[in-house]
């Protein structure tokens, strides 16, 4: 990709629609927001989250008081895991999500518009290139990613 003024940096990010997004029928709304922003879905699947995978996904929080609640909130339940690609995808997605606690999320953000709970706050997304590299590999092989 190239624009007037220099190259556009395209990157990928891992996103998981948590059980509340799936159970409340918000998958299409949330995914369409990402697509309307110009992000492309390069991998996506609906899965029942295995406890082992939930523990791996949230390993960075192991030992914190909220770790078990994070894991148990998604373990054994349906989630959508996906990889999105686009210009500054990591920061764009994080901004679109809003604050972690939906009470503090601005209107117009996904959590601000639809979020009800701080733990099952609709969507998990990578917060850095390093977390993307770790997180997406839990659920996808490189051959799953469609350029």
Exactly one of 61, 65, 124, 136 is catalytic; name it: 124
124 classed as catalytic: yes
Tokens of 41: 């879905």
How many C-beta neighbours within 10 Å does residue 42 have?
Answer: 17
Three-class SS of the chain: CEECCEECCEEEEEEEECHHHHHCCCHHHHHHHHHHCCCEEEEEEEEECCHHHHHHHCHHHCCCCCHHHHHHHHCCCEEEEEEEEEECHHHHHHHHHCCCCHHHCCCCCHHHHHCCCCCCCCEEECCCHHHHHHHHHHHCCHHHCCC
> Which residues does the annotation mark as catalytic?
124
């Amino acid at each position: 990709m190239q624009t007037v003024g220099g190259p556009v940096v395209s990157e990928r990010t891992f996103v998981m629609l948590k059980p509340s997004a799936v159970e409340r029928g918000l998958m299409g709304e949330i995914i369409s927001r990402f697509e309307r922003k110009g992000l492309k879905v390069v991998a996506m699947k609906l899965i029942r989250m295995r406890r082992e995978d939930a523990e791996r996904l949230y390993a960075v929080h192991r030992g914190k008081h909220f770790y078990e609640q994070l894991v148990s909130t998604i373990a054994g339940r349906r989630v959508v895991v996906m990889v999105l690609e686009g210009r500054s995808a990591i920061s764009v997605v994080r901004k679109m999500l809003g604050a972690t606690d939906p009470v503090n999320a601005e209107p117009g953000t996904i959590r601000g518009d639809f979020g009800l709970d701080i733990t099952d706050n609709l969507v998990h997304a990578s917060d850095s290139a390093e977390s993307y590299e770790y997180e997406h590999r839990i659920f996808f092989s490189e051959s799953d990613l469609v350029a």
